[in-house]
């Protein structure tokens, strides 16, 4: 069925004609999608795409290289703030600013990767947690980052993508769609490709056992820091895009809780799978946006509102999303450790071998 006959077959980006078919369908549907759905849903798709980028980036680190990170909100914040600042203060064109921000994030990822060389599991979690909190604190206190008030994203123009200035503005969600989706698409494909190369195999070897990998000649120093840098690069780009999607950024939105949200995306999608990351990013973003308006759900919303008025506080009602996210994390870890991707694989095998 899925037997690989030689090495070159194994490292193909898409390893069967069927996959190529679905890949082309995906491209076509991504192009026509914004003309078919109303504006709010385009915003939703953009948001999903940004989160997919983060999830893919974090999965490269957590799922493929086996290094846990609780500080990705820090990279996300770096991406967002550096992009906005280098556009307003240095007058860089958007794409250059985005790249600059991503490289700054990658640099911080590299720095954070250095202690990771000597740390495993719990220690690494603590160090990255500290990094995430420290970044938010510094940004919140430093005047250049707008302090507690935050920054407003500057207007985006079509020429402004490549040069500074320009007149034709990109403001509506539909126009942003054609900026965000191609970037997300390219990055996701690049990640899938990367995992099929020497680098990806080195990551996986380090995840499975870093001592064994080192004995086999994998340069763990190089690849561990590289994994951190790549992961931070992805998250930085997502942060830059997020700033323009929301239009306004302030330090309190890049909290420790956001890092856990990112981790939830990865867990729900499935560790060590790009396809899983896409699924995880999409479903969890949908859930976040739904939970923001949990009062408006039929039946359940009314019951919860009544409950909340009787027993809880009314102002704290949106916090219910934290509870649900926490439950999701625990339930996934206990019952479906491979996430949606594991579920997908099992379903596929079940139907392939049906009725046996």
Partner 1 sequence: MFLQLLISGLSFGSLYALIALAMVIIYKTSEVPNFSQGEMAMISTFVAYTLLGASGQSFTISFIGALIFAAILGVFLEFVFLRRAKDPNILSLILITLGFEMILYGFAGWKWGADQRDLPFPVSDFDIINLGPAVLSYLNIATLLITLILMFILFVFFKYSKVGIAMKATQQNAMAARINGIRTNRILSITWALSSLIGAVAGILLAPIATLDPNLMLDPLLKGFASAVLGGMTSLVGAALGGYILGIIENLFGGYVSIEFKSVVAFMIIVLVLCFKPSGLFARHYVRRV
Minimum distance from CB of 147 to partner 1 (Å)?
Answer: 10
CA–CA separation, 154 vs 92, rounded Å? 12
Minimum distance from CB of 234 to partner 1 (Å)?
Answer: 20
Residue in 263, 267, 261, 265 with CA at minimum distance from that of residue 338:
267
Q: How many helices (H) and strands (E) does the chain have?
A: 15, 2
Residue in 337, 195, 347, 330 with CA at minimum distance from that of residue 273:
195
Stretch that binds partner 1, among 19-27, 41-49, 128-136, 162-170 (CB under 8 A): 128-136
Which CB, 39 or 137, lies closer to partner 1?
Answer: 137
DSSP 8-state code for residue 299: T
Among 300, 303, 306, 330, binds partner 1 (CB under 8 A): 330
Distance of CA 139 to the CA centre of its chain: 21
Among 119, 158, 161, 246, binds partner 1 (CB under 8 A): 119
Minimum distance from CB of 104 to partner 1 (Å)?
Answer: 18
Q: Is 107 in the site for partner 1 (CB under 8 A)?
A: no
Q: Which of residues 293-322 bind partner 1 (CB under 8 A)?
A: 308, 311-317, 319-322
Minimum distance from CB of 331 to partner 1 (Å)?
Answer: 8
CA–CA separation, 131 vs 112, rounded Å? 8
Torsional sign, CA 170, 176, 179, 180:
positive
CA–CA separation, 140 vs 145, rounded Å? 7
Stretch that binds partner 1, among 111-119, 160-168, 192-200, 219-227 (CB under 8 A): 111-119
Please give the angle made by the CA atoms of 83, 226 and 19, to the nearest 5 degrees: 85
Q: Which of residues 234-293 bind partner 1 (CB under 8 A)?
A: 255-257, 260, 263, 267
Q: Is 121 in the site for partner 1 (CB under 8 A)?
A: yes
- The single residue listed with the structure tokens 């990865």 is 266
Among 31, 149, 303, 333, binds partner 1 (CB under 8 A): 333
Q: Is 138 in the site for partner 1 (CB under 8 A)?
A: yes
Q: Rg of the chain over CA atoms, in angstroms?
A: 21
- Encoding tokens for residue 109? 């990822």
Q: Is 204 in the site for partner 1 (CB under 8 A)?
A: no
Among 7, 35, 38, 118, binds partner 1 (CB under 8 A): 118
Residue in 109, 118, 113, 125 with CA at minimum distance from that of residue 69:
125
Residues that bind partner 1 (CB under 8 A): 62, 68, 70, 114-115, 118-123, 125-127, 129-131, 133-134, 137-138, 141-142, 211, 255-257, 260, 263, 267, 308, 311-317, 319-330, 333-334, 337
């Amino acid at each position: 069925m899925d037997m690989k006959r030689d090495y070159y077959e194994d490292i193909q980006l898409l390893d069967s004609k069927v996959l190529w078919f679905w890949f082309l369908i995906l491209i076509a549907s991504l192009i026509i999608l914004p003309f078919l759905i109303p504006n709010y849903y385009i915003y939703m798709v953009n948001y999903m795409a940004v989160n997919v980028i983060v999830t893919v980036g974090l999965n490269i680190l957590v799922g493929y290289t086996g290094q846990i990170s609780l500080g990705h909100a820090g990279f996300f914040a770096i991406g967002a703030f550096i992009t906005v600042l280098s556009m307003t203060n240095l007058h860089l064109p958007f794409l250059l600013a985005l790249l600059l921000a991503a490289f700054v994030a990658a640099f911080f990822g590299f720095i954070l990767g250095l202690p990771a060389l000597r740390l495993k599991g719990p220690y690494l979690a603590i160090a990255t947690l500290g990094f995430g909190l420290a970044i938010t604190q510094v940004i919140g206190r430093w005047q250049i980052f707008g302090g507690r008030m935050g920054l407003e994203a500057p207007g985006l123009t079509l020429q402004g993508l490549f040069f500074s200035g320009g007149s034709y503005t990109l403001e509506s969600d539909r126009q942003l769609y054609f900026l965000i989706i191609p970037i997300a698409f390219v990055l996701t494909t690049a990640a899938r490709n990367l995992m099929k190369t020497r680098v990806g195999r080195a990551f996986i070897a380090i995840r499975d056992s870093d001592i064994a990998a080192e004995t086999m000649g994998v340069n763990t120093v190089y690849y561990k820091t590289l994994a951190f840098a790549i992961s931070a690069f992805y998250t930085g780009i997502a942060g830059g895009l997020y700033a323009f999607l929301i239009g306004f950024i302030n330090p309190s939105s890049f909290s420790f809780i956001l890092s856990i949200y990112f981790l939830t995306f990865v867990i729900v999608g499935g560790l060590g799978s790009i396809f899983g990351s896409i699924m995880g990013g999409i479903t969890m973003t949908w859930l976040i946006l739904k939970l923001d308006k949990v009062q408006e759900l039929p039946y359940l919303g009314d019951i919860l509102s009544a409950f909340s008025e009787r027993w809880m506080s009314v102002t704290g009602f949106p916090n219910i999303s934290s509870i649900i996210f926490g439950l999701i994390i625990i339930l996934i870890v206990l019952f479906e450790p491979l996430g949606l991707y594991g579920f997908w694989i099992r379903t596929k095998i079940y139907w392939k071998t049906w009725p046996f």
